[in-house]
Amino acid sequence: MSAALDTGLDPALARRIRYVCLDVDGVLTDGGIYLGAVDGTPLEFKRYDIQDGLGIHLLRLAGLRVGIVTGRVSDSVRLRAAELDVDDLVQDAKVRKHAALERIAARHALTFDEMAFVGDDFPDVPVLRVVGLPVAVANAAPEVREMAALRLTRRGGHGAVREFAEALLRARGEWERVTERYVRERVEQPADDLRHVESPTLEAAR
């Protein structure tokens, strides 16, 4: 394990976690928002890290549920959540994250002790105080990092969720099994629908 992932995360705590919940702005993204309009239609864009998507996929391969809870309503988040096939998405402009987490826990018959939450700032404090595994990204507010049981070395939007996924799965003793399953699936999947594209350079050289 690399020094960055030598977190000292308690294996018993890691194995107790059944649900991982993620904030968006400052966690799945770098916190930046691009606002504009086309023909009078407001548009909002966010930048996501592709490695975070893989981390979420690996968590799901390990049998963990994953949800997104954010205090900002955005089509960008809805599209990303659908792409990641997460179990729950809550976008609440009133930032009632504790209530959202209560509903998610009830839906999946969970206790807060069985949940992890990855956050970065004060809107996340109400849930970080109650979950079994509170996690802070590298760019989190000092108060948030202070209360976190796991402090990541990567910033939000730059692989923090991927780092967390590996740290959690390694502490659970599942990293090698899950990654090997992922690689094996890439090999065993049928390629009937794979479109073959030849290089024009190669074609001309024949």
**Per-residue model confidence as pLDDT tens for the chain (206 residues):** 443 355 689 999 999 999 999 999 999 999 999 989 888 888 889 999 999 999 999 999 999 999 999 999 999 999 999 999 999 999 999 999 999 999 999 999 999 999 999 999 999 999 999 999 999 999 999 999 999 999 999 999 999 999 999 999 999 999 999 999 999 988 887 777 766 666 666 555 44
| Residue 45: other Cβ atoms inside 10 A | 13
Alpha-carbon distance of 86 to 83, in angstroms, equals: 8
Alpha-carbon distance of 152 to 23, in angstroms, equals: 14
Residue 190 has φ and ψ, to the nearest 5°, of -65, 145
pLDDT at 191: 72
Fold of 10-180: Rossmann fold (3.40.50)
Residue 39 has φ and ψ, to the nearest 5°, of 55, 40
pLDDT at 189: 74
31 within 8 A of 123, measured Cβ to Cβ? no
Non-local CB neighbours of 151 within 8 Å, separated by 6+ positions: 7, 135, 136, 138, 140, 145
pLDDT at 181: 95
Mapping DSSP to helix (H, G, I), strand (E, B) and coil, where does residue 67 land? strand
- 18, two tokens: 């059944």
What is the Cα gyration radius of the chain?
19
Q: Which residues pair with 116 in a beta bridge?
A: 20, 133
SS3 content of the chain, % helix, strand, coil (to 5): 45, 15, 40
Furthest-apart CA pair in the chain: how many Å? 66
Non-local CB neighbours of 50 within 8 Å, separated by 6+ positions: none
Cα–chain center distance at 150: 15
153 within 8 A of 138, measured Cβ to Cβ? yes
Terminal alpha carbon distance of the chain: 47
Looking at residue 155, the DSSP 8-state letter turns out to be P
